[in-house]
Structure 1
Amino acid sequence: MSFFIYAVLIFLVIRFSVTVFNFISNPKLPKVIRHYHDKVSILIPARNEEDNIIELLHSIKNQDYTNYEVIVMDDQSEDNTFGLVNDFCSVNANFSIVKGEPLPANWLGKNFACHQLAAMATGKYFLFVDADETLSRGLVNSLISRMEMGKLALLSVFTNQVMKTLGEKLTVPLMHFILLNLLPLRLVKVSRNPALAAASGQCMFFNADDYRQKLWHQQVKNQVVEDVEIIKLVKQEKFNAEALLANGLIHCRMYKNMHESLAGFSKNLLAGFGNNVFILLFYLLLVIIGPIILIANFNISLLLLPLTLIILSRMMISYLSGQNVLVNLILHPLQMLFFLIISMISIKKYISKTGTWKGRPIRTI
């Protein structure tokens, strides 16, 4: 057996071990029945979100939490986002919307919107969420409970993903697959090493005093994967941070079709690998090309172990992330194909510096 085949199998066993660790440790946000009363600022950057944001606002209004303010930042929207939200705010006193300032040089849009929102917020905690999400009852209390228990400066939650079209089902599960197959999520909190860092910008819950002191979004103003860079900074500054799975407490429909999925994931996939093309290509070689070579050889003794590990991994990851186990098993080969396609698009955008998002260029450094 060649050295390469050994390397593929060893990497597969390592990834499987990480998945087993995540499955056993069950890194989900615990649901609590205790009610808290600290003021929470729910902060929402919104650019061209007229199709999504009202559902989010209704879900916040239906929370079993009363001491909160909601501030929506209309980030130079070209649709009716401002008008719809303004109408909602006019009959809901806890909600307000403001127009964002023009985007300065050397800032990315979402990072600047979050920075402005934090400057306006008055709560003890800052909860940043995206406009395409919905909050379930109990989320805010559960976030505060976990924050206080761990004396955290930042708690980030990987949301449960809503997928309706085939295009979404072929791409969106890749996010949890990569995360839970590579990183023991519990170690984000346990380890002081900033390299062991993961976060989701879809749900970032900050201690407001720490945020005001460090201005986290300003420190990562031009970073595409600002969520991961922020949690690295938090750990470097010796604050406590944690990343957990949503446990059904917050949902997001990131994209609505294949085109949106390809554009969205290719925007930041390479950045998630440190903008290192060679690391991403090496990962693809071991995770996708290697198993294809094993299958092409069609040696039963070689195939049995990797197939078993892949199937069990997909089952555990699907369960942890609240996704359909059978669908992910059936679609796994096609999902890997689209992972390869997204990677190539991401590399092309990075090299040619042609990445855009919501009509704005993405400047990578």
Structure 2
Amino acid sequence: MYPTIFDTEELTALRDLARKFATEKLAPGYQSREKTGGFGPELLREMGRLGLIAPELPEEFGGLGSGAIYSGVIIEEIARGDFNMGYVNILASLNGQILSKFANPEIKRDWLPKLIGGELIVAIALTEPRGGSDAANLGLRMERDGSHYVINGEKTSISCADQAKGAVVFARTGQPEDRARGISAIFVPMDTPGLSTTRFTDLGQHAIGRGSIFFDNVRVPADHLLGEEGKGFVQVMQGFDFSRPLIGLQCLGTARQALDETWAYIGERKAFGKPLAAFQGITHQLADFDTKVEAARLLSLNALWLKDQGLPHVAEAAMAKWWPPLLAYEAIHACLLIHGHAAYSNELPFAQRLRDVLGLQIGDGTAHIMKNIIARERAGKAAVGG
């Protein structure tokens, strides 16, 4: 990966460590993990032991207490070897941030070290059947009953639903007309009675898995509430401003790997007595994607840098979410075509990369929603009508 203005000696060393792990440990099993439908517990623990999961979390829980940009550098490299494994890092950073800020001391002490150590995964349960992009349109109910909350309803399109040991769940404690002001967040262990999950059959991201979580009179201690009742939606929206540039870098890391492999390929493969690199129809196409990938990468890193400086980065985070997934898909598609029939099969990883990155044009906020956010930030909320 090329140096950037954000790189320091420490960041470079971390990048090298993540690259070595991704190349030697993750890349060889990328395609096989699609078939098994999981990450492999030992790989997760090794990633945790190396300090490659949620380094921005506090040292007292096993993190490095570093800046958000450290997570971006790691995810970018991890995704070069295995796109799906990079999502483990994103979930850990997103949910770890929420838990470290809002969970009670016992939950922090019991769960955060295991999350950072790669011993378990925590899912984020926001989306529902009736509200995808309309994230505040929640029907899952959470009612107070003495020292517990009782939860009923369904969450759907939840990544790692059947692999997670816990979930940050968003439920309605107010009335439907309250919209975002009536949503609360609570931490729910996945072995709680009355909770069940399913897994969907998706086009890609099989190692991650996506499914529904069903709550049937699930009783959760009231002290598992995250923050104040009715403030959960604000919490998750702030968290997404962190995870969106991480997603951008996850997609771009995979695209960068595809481009690097394709540059090497066209220098070796010959047609009509010349290397493919002699044909400008090919090299100009790759040069175009190479330029855009580097630009999108800097955009994503800048959003994380702004976060680390305590500066506004809502629009920049939204930019890093809508453009990089689309760009990565287009770049990988071009690389697949240049490699020809071998890349159309499972002989090479291009087809799987294409399927995997496509999902993030949908999940965690579509391009349309991201552009609405950018418009609101630039023109003002009142001007855009909400």
Q: Structure 1-normalised TM-score?
A: 0.24
More helix by share: 2
Q: Structure 2-normalised TM-score?
A: 0.23
